[in-house]
Structure 1
Amino acid sequence: MSAFERWQAANNRYLANEIAGLRARLERLAASAASDAAEPSWRQRWLKPAEASSPAAPAVAVVEAGEDADDAPTPALVVLARRLQLSDFERDVLLLCAAMELDTRIAPLCARAQADANKPYPTFALALALFDRPAWDALSPERPLRYWQIVNVHQSMTQALVASALRADERIVSYLKGANYLDDRIAPLVGALPEYDGDAPPSLQACVDAIVERLHAADAPIVELVGSDPASKRLVAARVADALNLRVCRIGADAIPQAPAELEALARLWQRECALLPLALYVDAYDADRAGSAGAAVQRALGAFSGLVFFDVREPWPRVARETLPVDVAKPLPAEQRALWLAALGDEHAPTAARVAVHFDFDAATIARAAELSLALANGDADQVPALAWAQCVAHARPVLDQLAQPVEAKATWDDLALPDAEKSLLRQIADQVEHRGTVYDDYGFRARMNRGLGISVLFAGESGTGKTMAAEVIANALGLLLYRIDLSAVVNKYIGETEKNLRRLFDAAECGGAILLFDEADALFGKRGEVKDSHDRYSNIEVNYLLQRMEAFRGLAILATNMKSALDGAFVRRLRFIVKFPFPGLPEREAIWRRALPAGLATGAIDYARLARFNLTGASIHSIALNAAFLAARANAPLSMPLLLDAARTEFRKLEKPVSDGDFRWLERAEGAA
């Protein structure tokens, strides 16, 4: 028999003996009520001592013959009475109400003892007459029975308080029987923290040790976990709770009642649960608006909830009602992430562990899951692990990023670029710096010397259609990373403060998933500073400053694209690492673009690429003409021909509102005449 089974058996014997003693008391009170007709009515009899109030026969002890009383397990009723500070009388009232739920013989005895067949239930009047040392204030809202919702009073509009039915709370009855579970009024509001069985990285274990030491030295404060990685903060909280033998329940800021009365009821229930279970609370306010109604509810809750409370925030909140222990928690350090990957994948995959640790910024649990899934999918084929691990990492942040920015499918390659050699060289340098940043920052020791962040911020400047987006695609494709476009001309949200929040989520997700960010229309936000004329301008400047700060702190690649480099603020431009100019394509570049615009294997007639290159068009327009001409060929069920290309070119010129002269399309007219 297990220790719990032994305790449960002893607890059941104790409870049965206590209820047997209670039945004996009720029997004597019922007999007294039936035989003494000269006494006043039963409703008044509780005002003076009754014979039935004398102690019943001593309850049979839990301890069996020959058992040492000091070693006997403590019954649940005794534990509850001690933890919730019940008086002897209040404990007896609870026993009476609980017995009503556990023993069908109690109800008729209650009716007989009260000389009222309509009262087959406990009342306060019955308790006052039944037990020793009765106390009128036992039913006060401030005394434990009602304060902790141990006993509920069911009182009708016309019924006296002492004559109202008393009923034990279901959770309390279950506790007395040995079923100790979280109250079902709290359970739907909270959840468990994610499990992680591995060792905490040293930097996080240091946080755990510091918190545990502080909690051992003083009463439990609010532990304010500050930082941008909720997963690491949850791991710290879970390990602290493990060290203190506590179970952590997480509650979101949106689940905290905003009505004061509802919050007070929840706080009392939680405090009661903390007395019955080893609990700690994790208040998740990471995305909560401090200035909003949810933030105000969180502030009130922090003052109301007792016991150990972990408070998850991105940045420190103003002083709350209780003592607060702020602790900064970050993701595992780069070297720790590399060690986690190596431990999860195995020594044979050390190069893969090193590469993914450089490009992605994951917490310990995410690394463990990604590595486990990669090895499972590889099914013993070690050659597949590098690609599978990379794919798992890339896919991790996609769901969040897809909500915040426009994904760009990166298919273009270096061969698709039609740029001067100097610009191509700059683009390759950018890709190389992203690929080899781990070597430079960590192996060469430059990380310790960097004071402006480890990211790479670059500017692509040139007219629309000159290849800025394609260049971003080429870099993303070469590195195997996701690419997302953000339109900065619409970045300032009409709801003040939402832009900063969304940018924060965007940068966090991109940094985690190694994504490349392409900010379009950079001049819309980073133009030369002008006069602040209204609140919109003021908040625009706030968003600009925040974006600048995040770009410098961003450890990935951020690309800003503009059509008007001259309109950009000079101080901003100087903070960029690279500036790549995208000139209007010259004749050789246009011919190269034309040759790559038509897919290999496409059925064509004789194409005069030199003739087409004389059209003064950007690469984007050339690709548009090629696509439209292909549709014309499909309609005619004929090979793609020069006449169709020139016809599509004429349409493109008109779309761009460029002047169209007959001489530009004279070849087309000669071809038509010959036909």
Structure 2
Amino acid sequence: MTDRWTDSSLAVEPYVDSTDHIRDALERLDILLRYHLETWWAAGDGVVDELRGLYVSDETVDVLFPADVAGRVRSDEANGAGTGERPPPNPDLLVTVDERADIVAARVRRTLAAGTDLRLAHLADQFDLSAADVDALLLAFAPTHDARYETLYSYLHDDVTAKRPTIGLVCTVLARDGDESAVLRRLFARGGPLRRHNLLRLRESDERPLRSRPVTVDERIAEYLLGADDVDPELDGVAELVVADDVSADGSDLTRTLGLSTCARTALDRLLDAESDHRVRNSNPLPDPDSRTRGESRPPMAYAWGPRGSGRHAVAAAVSRSRARDAALLAIDASQLTDAPLGLSTTLARVGREGLLRGAALSVRNFDSLSHDERERLAGAVDEFPGPVVLSGGTEWQPQTPPSTHVFTALALSVPGTEARRRLWRAALASTGVGDDEADALASKFRLTSGAIRDAVETARQTTDGEEPSVAALYDACRHQAGGSLTDLAQAVPQPYAWEDIVLPPEQMVQLREVAAHVAHRGTVYDDWGFAERYAAGTGLIALFSGPSGTGKTMAASIVAREAGLDLYRVDLSSVVSKYVGETEKNLGRVFDEAGKGDAVLLFDEADALFGKRSEVRDAHDRYANVEVNYLLQRVEAYDGVVVLTTNFKRNIDEAFTRRIHLCVEFPRPTRAAREGIWRSVFPPETPVEELDFEFLSTLELTGGNVKNAALTAAFMAADAGESVRMAHVVKAVKRELQKTGTLVSPEAFGNYWEDPT
């Protein structure tokens, strides 16, 4: 028998596209279906049953097939002179099916060698489908591709409503040796690729026997074969396909743009090398579903962790692009998995299927949002994904049980060092008018990640209406980046003061400027001069400001933060300290974790409430109190930021904290000369003030805080009277301030300015 299926000239021609391939593969199945139909007819002693198929006639079914398949039968019917009999099935049809299978396979190889992708071939390769699996898939897919198959299946089922093939029909058509049970077990077992990957859908609630159940191609698979590229709609809100960042496959650009440390570079190189090795060993550009040869190399699984903007997504993109320049990256949000409507296992199965369809690497974001047990379960689940997997989060993690099908790599991404930050800042500001000196100053003062630096520059541009960002706008944007999420745990402290606003003895002013210098030049000393290697436990600054209330401790902290260009956050003890065991440590941990993401200065007012001396353990309360102090000792020593402690009672601070304090400034009560200076500067220039006796006011034993309160009270008194601020208002306000503090108000102390209270 010679026809277009055995024309050897077609065997060397590649397919035009996926549709051309699928159409050719279905035409091969047309021959197999025709053979099944003729066998069915022959089983009825060759007599045509006119009621067969109810409203679908034999003639209607006949014309559903291509003319060169049905033509022979029609000719034989004509020779039968209307006897109503059919000839026996033609055995040459099965020979043609096999010949056609060889030709299709040859054309697939030619097409893939020419660089044209074929979706059905890709599907078979990615899901390890045998030739019989592909045939079963095509039989179920046929009605979606061509409506004529609905009529054919209705006829074969003798039911016009049964427009999809049943499992029994598929098994009968594909059972060349007559052993339909073997086909059923091989193709439709739960552990087989067709059902395991949900390529075919069965109605599980159907109470009919398995062979009687209709089988359809999953909607996402059908759309894929038809050319659609949208992500499975069942994964909305859980997964998305993202475009990989423009980084080189060898990671060199990534190393430069992220400012990776030596350890991180080594881990990244190991990760990309593992993916490259896996890709080379397991690549099979000319897949043969029945004869696969896979390499022994396992794909990589990485956990990339670090602060926001440190490059966690860029690492996943680099792994994806190491597979191919146009490789896809399928990203899922771990925090959404636990509430996924389909359930965790079904959702992950669909995610894995989607990744295989797209040949994508899998990126699992917000991995650390899960509990410890949930992380282990998720890691075990994604271990079944055959491609590379990149988990990412903000905290360190290692799997308890190493993955069995992947090679695990932990990749710690940290804030770049000062030199790397200088390079990143200069690159980000290269097209602006901001000079290298300002870029270097920003790098030294703000420990920002590469992503945070890019965000800061963009924010500054938007602040200046898209023009070149000003230095002031850059500092504001950096402070915003450095603040992290501290607003939920601490209060931002205004910074209206400058050096000229604080009045201190010369020695204390020198010490305070030393604190500011320490904050401003941490990058130079620790990173450039190598001190970070000597202080591995932590490279932060702890400063203690002690002295009586109102002597300027909080004001000094504000000036130090402003001088360094950093925000100041006062830790709210009411939101931190808890009566419940362990809650205080948990809250403090959140404070330090969030502060560690940026460069805000942490201020602990009344620090002796938290950093007080440990006591002898007499009961459970003492033991718990000591645990809190011990925890603070550990966190403070390991903290890399700036912490300012203020206290009225330095002697109450635990000695272990004292050893960890880098700089200590004692704020004394102001001298008479200092008090006069405070009085002269306390009223704003806009305040209408008549001549005040500053020399007399300096004789009153007040702290700077008392003076500030008295000046404000005097201003309100004057405003209420419709007058300028005069001595009468100030003296009366001072009396109120002294009475508030419990100080005896003596008429002799006020001399001629004394007035009887009214």
- TM-score interval (norm. to shorter): 0.7 to 0.9
What secondary structure, in the 3-state scheme, does the structure 1 residue paired with 2:164 have? Answer: coil
On the 8 A contact 2:479/2:567 being kept in 1, the answer is yes
Output the CA distance in 1 between the equivalents of 2:471 and 2:159.
80
Q: Which residue of 1 aligns with 2:316?
A: 237
Mapped pair 1:129 → 2:201: no
Equivalent of residue 332 in structure 1, options 416, 439, 448: 416
Q: Which residue of 1 aligns with 2:17?
A: 10
Equivalent of residue 563 in structure 2, options 471, 475, 478: 478
Q: Deviations over 1:410-441 (max 9, x none)?
A: 11122221222211111011112222344444
303-312 vs 111-120, which moves further: 303-312
Q: Which residue of 1 aligns with 2:674?
A: 589
Equivalent of residue 220 in structure 1, options 294, 299, 303: 299
What secondary structure, in the 3-state scheme, does the structure 1 residue paired with 2:603 have? Answer: strand
Equivalent of residue 165 in structure 1, options 214, 220, 233: 214
Q: Which residue of 1 aligns with 2:3?
A: none
Q: Which residue of 1 aligns with 2:232?
A: 183
663-672 vs 518-527, which moves further: 663-672
Shift of 1:511: 5.0
Shift of 1:534: 6.7
Output the CA distance in 1 between the equivalents of 2:452 and 2:331.
19
What secondary structure, in the 3-state scheme, does the structure 1 residue paired with 2:159 have? Answer: coil
Mapped pair 1:307 → 2:307: no
Sort the Cα spacing of 1:81 and 1:478 in 2 relative to 1 into closer, same or farther, 3 A.
closer
Equivalent of residue 271 in structure 1, options 305, 327, 352: 352
Mapped pair 1:368 → 2:447: no
Shift of 1:101: 1.6
Sort the Cα spacing of 1:645 and 1:450 in 2 relative to 1 into closer, same or farther, 3 A.
same
Sort the Cα spacing of 1:640 and 1:381 in 2 relative to 1 into closer, same or farther, 3 A.
same
Output the CA distance in 1 between the equivalents of 2:444 and 2:649.
34
Amino acid at match of 1:558: V
On the 8 A contact 1:457/1:578 being kept in 2, the answer is yes
Output the CA distance in 2 between the equivalents of 1:9 and 1:69.
8
TM-score (ref. length: structure 1): 0.85
Q: Which residue of 2 aligns with 1:253?
A: 334
On the 8 A contact 1:253/1:294 being kept in 2, the answer is no
What secondary structure, in the 3-state scheme, does the structure 1 residue paired with 2:316 have? Answer: helix
Shift of 1:128: 2.2
Shift of 1:378: 7.0
What secondary structure, in the 3-state scheme, does the structure 2 residue paired with 1:331 have? Answer: coil
1:628-667 aligned within 5 A: 628-661=713-746, 667=752
Equivalent of residue 94 in structure 2, options 31, 34, 55: 55
Q: Which residue of 1 aligns with 2:684?
A: 599
Q: Which residue of 2 aligns with 1:93?
A: 136
Sort the Cα spacing of 1:74 and 1:304 in 2 relative to 1 into closer, same or farther, 3 A.
closer
Amino acid at match of 1:364: S
162-171 vs 549-558, which moves further: 549-558
Equivalent of residue 657 in structure 2, options 562, 572, 592: 572
On the 8 A contact 1:224/1:316 being kept in 2, the answer is yes
Sort the Cα spacing of 1:467 and 1:180 in 2 relative to 1 into closer, same or farther, 3 A.
same
Mapped pair 1:142 → 2:149: no
What secondary structure, in the 3-state scheme, does the structure 2 residue paired with 1:283 have? Answer: strand
Q: Deviations over 1:154-195 (max 9, x none)?
A: 255542322222111111112222334533333531344884
Mapped pair 1:349 → 2:445: no
Q: Deviations over 1:484-513 (max 9, x none)?
A: 111457534567666556555544554554
| Cα RMSD for the two superposed structures | 3.9
Output the CA distance in 2 between the equivalents of 1:409 and 1:390.
15
On the 8 A contact 1:98/1:168 being kept in 2, the answer is yes
Sort the Cα spacing of 1:531 and 1:105 in 2 relative to 1 into closer, same or farther, 3 A.
farther
What secondary structure, in the 3-state scheme, does the structure 1 residue paired with 2:128 have? Answer: coil
Q: Which residue of 1 aligns with 2:401?
A: 320
Output the CA distance in 1 between the equivalents of 2:595 and 2:391.
25
Amino acid at match of 1:279: A
Output the CA distance in 2 between the equivalents of 1:601 and 1:82.
80
Sort the Cα spacing of 1:193 and 1:494 in 2 relative to 1 into closer, same or farther, 3 A.
farther
Mapped pair 1:207 → 2:262: no
Output the CA distance in 1 between the equivalents of 2:221 and 2:685.
77
Sort the Cα spacing of 1:443 and 1:154 in 2 relative to 1 into closer, same or farther, 3 A.
closer
What secondary structure, in the 3-state scheme, does the structure 1 residue paired with 2:546 have? Answer: strand
Shift of 1:95: 0.7
Output the CA distance in 2 between the equivalents of 1:402 and 1:117.
67
What secondary structure, in the 3-state scheme, does the structure 1 residue paired with 2:569 have? Answer: strand
On the 8 A contact 2:231/2:354 being kept in 1, the answer is yes
Equivalent of residue 26 in structure 2, options 19, 22, 41: 19
Amino acid at match of 1:351: D
Output the CA distance in 2 between the equivalents of 1:296 and 1:259.
18
Mapped pair 1:283 → 2:370: no
Amino acid at match of 2:440: A
On the 8 A contact 1:523/1:564 being kept in 2, the answer is yes
Mapped pair 1:113 → 2:150: no
On the 8 A contact 2:243/2:328 being kept in 1, the answer is no
Sort the Cα spacing of 1:98 and 1:452 in 2 relative to 1 into closer, same or farther, 3 A.
closer
The runs of 5 or more residues in structure 1 that have no matched partner are 1-5, 44-49
Output the CA distance in 1 between the equivalents of 2:551 and 2:640.
28
Shift of 1:538: 5.4
TM-score (ref. length: structure 2): 0.76
Amino acid at match of 1:237: A
Sort the Cα spacing of 1:334 and 1:540 in 2 relative to 1 into closer, same or farther, 3 A.
farther
Mapped pair 1:395 → 2:498: no
Sort the Cα spacing of 1:613 and 1:256 in 2 relative to 1 into closer, same or farther, 3 A.
same
Output the CA distance in 2 between the equivalents of 1:575 and 1:567.
15
392-401 vs 489-498, which moves further: 489-498
Output the CA distance in 2 between the equivalents of 1:142 and 1:64.
30
410-419 vs 269-278, which moves further: 269-278
Output the CA distance in 2 between the equivalents of 1:145 and 1:361.
52
Q: Which residue of 2 aligns with 1:47?
A: none
Shift of 1:472: 0.8
Sort the Cα spacing of 1:603 and 1:388 in 2 relative to 1 into closer, same or farther, 3 A.
closer
Output the CA distance in 2 between the equivalents of 1:193 and 1:403.
33
Amino acid at match of 1:94: L
Percentage of identical aligned residues = 32
116-125 vs 432-441, which moves further: 432-441
On the 8 A contact 1:225/1:328 being kept in 2, the answer is yes
Shift of 1:267: 3.3
What secondary structure, in the 3-state scheme, does the structure 2 residue paired with 1:454 have? Answer: coil
Output the CA distance in 2 between the equivalents of 1:318 and 1:36.
61
Q: Which residue of 1 aligns with 2:290?
A: none
Q: Which residue of 2 aligns with 1:414?
A: 499
Output the CA distance in 2 between the equivalents of 1:364 and 1:8.
47
Q: Which residue of 1 aligns with 2:490?
A: 405
Amino acid at match of 2:420: E
554-563 vs 437-446, which moves further: 437-446
Q: Which residue of 2 aligns with 1:622?
A: 707
Output the CA distance in 2 between the equivalents of 1:381 and 1:280.
38
What secondary structure, in the 3-state scheme, does the structure 2 residue paired with 1:188 have? Answer: coil
324-333 vs 33-42, which moves further: 33-42
Q: How many pairs does the alignment contain?
A: 659
Output the CA distance in 1 between the equivalents of 2:607 and 2:412.
33
Output the CA distance in 2 between the equivalents of 1:168 and 1:628.
81
Amino acid at match of 2:445: H
